Amino acid sequence: MIIDVHGHYTTAPAALGAWRDLQIAALKDPSKAPKAADLKISDDDIRETIENNQLKLIGDFETSSTWAAICNELCYRVSQLFPDYFIPAAMLPQSPGVDPKTCIPELEKCVKQYGNVGINLNPDPSGGHWTSPPLSDRQWYPIYEKMVEYDIPAMIHVSTSCNPAFHTTGSHYLNADTTAFMQCLTSDLFKDFPTLRFLIPHGGGAVPYHWGRFRGLAQELKKPLLDEHLLNNIYFDTCVYHQPGIDLLNTVIPVKNVLFASEMIGAVRGIDPTTGHYYDDTKRYIASSKILSDADRFQIYEGNARRVFPRLDAALKAKGL
């Protein structure tokens, strides 16, 4: 089995986008805001968007959507219509300057009613203005307490950049990955929450490429070795779109900390002219790796995801998988 821990439901029905446009247009005049009930999406609409997109390509997904309640329900419906392919992670209704603990009701609903096995936590709800305190700040602790209670990990993934300095998928995403890792490195967050688990997407941003730099910075800050300080709590996905990058990831980061993912359908959708294959067909890079054994590959494809997402493991076992 191959578990992809980083999928995007970017092909949602057009009615969702139209509804969102109305919602944004009404920000200055709330009386014009559309109601959730105004949004009509049939099961056939969902089936069509999935069968013509994700299912043509792969078999797993995780949401990185933008508006929590509607999108979480939509993803839940996807998971119900295609139970052999998808299991949802919850987007939280985060807003700049709003206390993260306001997200807890949505988080609880998603875990209890929708069977979500993880959450997405955005370290920068401002969208590129970086106005939130670091992930080590106590304002985030109510979310962490719930994560520990439910034994669910968080993907640490930002959303669209609203800052013209940052291209969303080319710099904001990767910068956020590096930033989140460094926020953890400088803190003692995982002393307070020894079982808290963060999944840093896009192969950890710049982190594995600069592993020596981060080891050296931890040393200067009198922190323990990174294996002990962070690698019982931080995991990286494989959304790195060329063989040398994947090989570096697997050279410096222990196999136990790497989880398979493709971001499909995500940032980079073209065919690499140097290989003739899709850039984001990350399975090819793992399959072709000369560094990994078959046992390593099993951990990256499946074993690690079962360990980091225990509710996913339980759901699979309930199906005899």
Q: Which residues are annotated as catalytic?
A: 263
Query: Which residue matches tokens 């699979």?
Result: 316
Chain positions 198 to 257 lying near a copy of itself, rule: CB under 8 A, are 202-203, 205-206, 208-217, 219-220, 225, 240-242, 244-245, 247-248, 251-252
SS3 56: helix
For residues 92 to 131, the per-residue mask of contacts with a copy of itself, x marking binding by CB under 8 A and - elsewhere, is -------------------------------xx---xxx-
- Considering Cα of 38, then 15, then 107, then 142, what sign does the dihedral take? negative
Which tokens go with 250?
């697997």
Which tokens go with 103?
């997200």
Which tokens go with 60?
């797993």
Minimum Å gap between C-beta 154 and a copy of itself is: 17
Chain positions 18 to 57 lying near a copy of itself, rule: CB under 8 A, are none
Minimum Å gap between C-beta 298 and a copy of itself is: 24
Which tokens go with 85?
């392919």
Nearest CB to a copy of itself, comparing residues 273 and 276? 273
Nearest CB to a copy of itself, comparing residues 66 and 136? 136
Which tokens go with 304?
């690690």
284 binds a copy of itself (CB under 8 A): no
| Terminal-residue alpha carbon distance, the chain | 9
Choices 26-34, 86-94, 97-105, 262-270; region in contact with a copy of itself by CB under 8 A = 262-270
Q: From the list 115, 134, 142, 310, which residue makes contact with a copy of itself (rule: CB under 8 A)?
A: 134
Q: From the list 11, 53, 66, 183, which residue makes contact with a copy of itself (rule: CB under 8 A)?
A: 183
The tally of CA atoms less than 13 A away on the side-chain side of residue 189 is: 27
Nearest CB to a copy of itself, comparing residues 80 and 163? 163
Specify burial of residue 225 (Cβ count, 10 A radius: 0-12, 13-18, 19+).
exposed
Q: From the list 185, 189, 265, 316, which residue makes contact with a copy of itself (rule: CB under 8 A)?
A: 185
CB burial of 273-297 (b: ≥16 within 10 Å; e: otherwise) equals: eeeeebbbbbbebbeebeebeeebb
Choices 4-12, 42-50, 109-117, 158-166; region in contact with a copy of itself by CB under 8 A = 158-166
260, 239 Cβ separation under 8 angstroms: no
Minimum Å gap between C-beta 118 and a copy of itself is: 23
The tally of CA atoms less than 13 A away on the side-chain side of residue 182 is: 15
Specify burial of residue 29 (Cβ count, 10 A radius: 0-12, 13-18, 19+).
exposed
171 binds a copy of itself (CB under 8 A): yes
Rounded distance between C-alpha atoms, residue 268 and residue 168, angstroms:
12
Which tokens go with 65?
């959507």
Minimum Å gap between C-beta 77 and a copy of itself is: 29
Nearest CB to a copy of itself, comparing residues 72 and 179? 179
Binding interface with a copy of itself (CB under 8 A): 123-124, 128-130, 132-134, 163-167, 169-171, 174-175, 178-179, 181-183, 185-186, 202-203, 205-206, 208-217, 219-220, 225, 240-242, 244-245, 247-248, 251-252, 267-270, 272-274, 279-280
